[in-house]
């Protein structure tokens, strides 16, 4: 039996009604435009609760705090973990899931700036192992450092010198960039296999300037190498430098300093920083790295409230 167009539409709409399905809306009933974008998703860096100077704070407690503050994610500091055995990794993953929190990044420490290939290989192996740890925990990214010369041994002394140090005698920055680029390249096959993004941070050493950071990123043609933009690691003229990095950012860490910073304090205008991110259509997480001397419980809460207010005001 054949149906003309009118009887076909009547038959189709009637069937939809019987099944409880919505009939197609006329064009006039559709919204004229999409709603404005939601605020960025916030995360807590577990580093916010442990600055290497006091006993470790368990990752589980940080997950609990993220859930209590209705923050969507946790950036796990590798050195803060209680171990690497699979039972512990899966316990963290389960704890995060049951609390409605995503584990979004594993922040690791490694250093590719060393003239000895054997030393660099140890850090390559460490990075590959951390990629596998992230994969087991369902974490989609790891924080990557370029490394630094190490001619200033103490981190406190390095911070007192504004993060600047001289090369090892007999070597140049071009040598260091080559070591770093070659080392990262050796980690990328495992990153691709596990689906874990390597997010290179503007940290100390080769990535302490936007030019150094982007020199490494542009030398490596891989979708598995991204950029982690840390708002507090450009000590002078931060906004112009953040504007250079923001278009390439895969992930953002937001430093705050309530009670005064452990090593230094920056008076950052987060409304301005949020506008920089909006301008380049950044859609990723913003992880709070509270680095102040105030108690973490209040310093982190103030940081969450401040960032949420900056998002609404921008």
Tens digit of each residue's pLDDT (9 = 90 or more) over 171-229: 999 999 999 999 999 999 999 999 999 999 999 899 999 999 999 999 999 999 999 99
pLDDT score at 4 = 47
Other Cβ atoms closer than 10 A to 211: 10
Q: What is the mean pLDDT of the chain?
A: 90
Q: 3-class SS at 188?
A: helix
* DSSP states along 273-291: HHHHHHHTT--S-EEEEE-
Angle at 53 between CA 50 and CA 58, to 5 degrees: 30
Could you tell me what percentage of the chain is helix, strand and coil, using 3-state DSSP and rounding each to the nearest 5?
45, 15, 40
pLDDT band at 53 (very low <50, low <70, confident <90, very high): confident
Taking residues 233-247, report their average pLDDT. 97
pLDDT score at 34 = 56
Q: Cα dist. 175→36, 44, 213, 223 in Å?
A: 47, 36, 15, 25
* Phi and psi at residue 33, to the nearest 5°: -155, 160
More confident residue, 303 or 9: 303
pLDDT score at 159 = 84
pLDDT score at 55 = 93
Buried b (16+ CB within 10 A) or exposed e, 251-278: bbbbbbbbbebeeebbebebeebbebbe
Taking residues 105-126, report their average pLDDT. 98
Distance CA 65, CA 254 (A): 17
pLDDT score at 37 = 54
Q: Answer whether 144's CB lies under 8 Å from 198's CB.
A: yes
pLDDT score at 19 = 42
pLDDT band at 38 (very low <50, low <70, confident <90, very high): low
Distance CA 94, CA 245 (A): 34
pLDDT band at 8 (very low <50, low <70, confident <90, very high): very low
Q: 3-class SS at 12?
A: helix
pLDDT score at 22 = 45
In the chain the domains, ranked by start, together with CATH numbers, are: 38-313 (3.20.20.150)
Tens digit of each residue's pLDDT (9 = 90 or more) over 267-285: 999 999 999 999 999 999 9
Tens digit of each residue's pLDDT (9 = 90 or more) over 140-179: 999 999 999 999 988 888 888 888 899 999 999 999 999 9
Type and span of the H or E element at 51: none
Angle at 135 between CA 130 and CA 136, to 5 degrees: 100
Taking residues 65-77, report their average pLDDT. 98
pLDDT score at 122 = 98
Tens digit of each residue's pLDDT (9 = 90 or more) over 22-32: 444 444 454 55
Distance CA 244, CA 32 (A): 35
């Amino acid at each position: 039996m054949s149906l003309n167009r009118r009887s076909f539409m009547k038959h189709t709409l009637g069937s939809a009604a019987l099944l409880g399905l919505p009939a197609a809306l006329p064009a006039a009933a559709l919204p004229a435009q999409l709603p404005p974008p939601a605020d960025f998703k916030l995360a807590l860096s577990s580093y916010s609760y442990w600055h290497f100077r006091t006993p470790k704070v368990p990752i589980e407690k940080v997950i609990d705090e993220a859930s209590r503050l209705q923050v969507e994610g946790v950036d796990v500091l590798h050195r803060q973990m209680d171990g690497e055995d699979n039972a512990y990794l899966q316990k963290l993953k389960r704890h995060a899931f049951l609390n409605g929190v995503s584990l979004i990044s594993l922040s690791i420490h490694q250093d590719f700036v060393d003239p000895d290939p054997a030393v660099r290989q140890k850090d390559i192996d460490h990075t590959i192992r951390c990629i596998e740890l992230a994969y087991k925990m369902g974490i989609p990214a790891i924080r990557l450092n370029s490394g630094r010369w190490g001619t200033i041994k103490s981190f406190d002394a390095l911070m007192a010198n504004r993060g600047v140090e001289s090369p090892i005698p007999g070597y140049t920055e071009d040598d260091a960039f080559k070591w770093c680029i070659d080392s990262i390249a050796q980690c990328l096959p495992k990153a691709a296999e596990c689906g874990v993004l390597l997010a290179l941070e503007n940290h100390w050493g080769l990535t302490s300037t936007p030019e150094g950071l982007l020199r490494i990123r542009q030398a490596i043609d891989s979708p598995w190498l991204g950029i982690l933009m840390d708002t507090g690691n450009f000590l002078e003229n931060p906004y112009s430098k953040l504007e250079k990095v923001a278009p390439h950012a895969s992930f953002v860490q937001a430093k705050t300093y309530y009670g005064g910073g452990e090593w230094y304090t920056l008076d950052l205008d987060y409304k301005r920083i949020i506008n920089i991110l909006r301008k380049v259509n950044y859609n990723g997480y913003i992880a709070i790295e509270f680095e102040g001397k105030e108690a973490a419980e209040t310093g982190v809460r103030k940081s969450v409230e401040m960032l949420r207010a900056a998002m609404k005001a921008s």
